Amino acid sequence: MANAAEKVYALIKETVEGCGVELWDVRFLKEGASWYLRVFIDKPEGITIDDCTEVSHAIDPIIDEADPIDVAYYLEVCSPGLERELSKPFHYERVLGEKIKVKLYKALNGKKELTGKLISVSEQIVIECDGIEIALSLKDISKANLCDFE
């Protein structure tokens, strides 16, 4: 069902940006017996309930007309949150200089989880962990999140 999220992302991107916000991500997930289409939006000053309502009203008819999902679902429009998941290359560009937590598919120097400051983004990301710079390919990352400095 990841393909459904990709289709919806492409369908609504222009409309979402027309509402004055950025389309951060789209997820189509099953939780219990129900399916949820979650549309994550963002803007520098933060997302309000009014932003979510406006985007929801703008995209609902587009999704209904295209009908890319063949099961019943709930549409949710929300903020990616403070500890937002980083899954697309542009996500890393937006948080350059911030602290991130990265989980790897395979251990690197005995560790599958790294936390550090994101210092470079290109074909790889580079994070600084305990004074050491570590370059990682995005395909080696199972999950990454922005995290608060403690």
Residue ending a domain, choose from 78, 101, 129: 78
Domain shared by 103 and 69, yes or no? no
Domain shared by 74 and 137, yes or no? no
Percent of the chain beyond pLDDT 70? 97
What would the 3-class secondary structure string for 29-47 be?
Answer: EEECCEEEEEEEEECCCCC
Could you tell me the pLDDT band of residue 1, with boundaries at 50, 70 and 90?
A: low
Give the Cα separation of 114 and 104 in Å (integer).
8
Give the Cα separation of 93 and 96 in Å (integer).
5
Which range of residues forms the domain containing residue 126?
89-146
The two tokens of residue 101 are 């937590």
Q: Does pTM surpass 0.85?
A: yes
Neighbours of 142 (CB within 10 A): 12
Asked if residue 2 has pLDDT above 90, the reply is no
The mean pLDDT of the chain is: 94
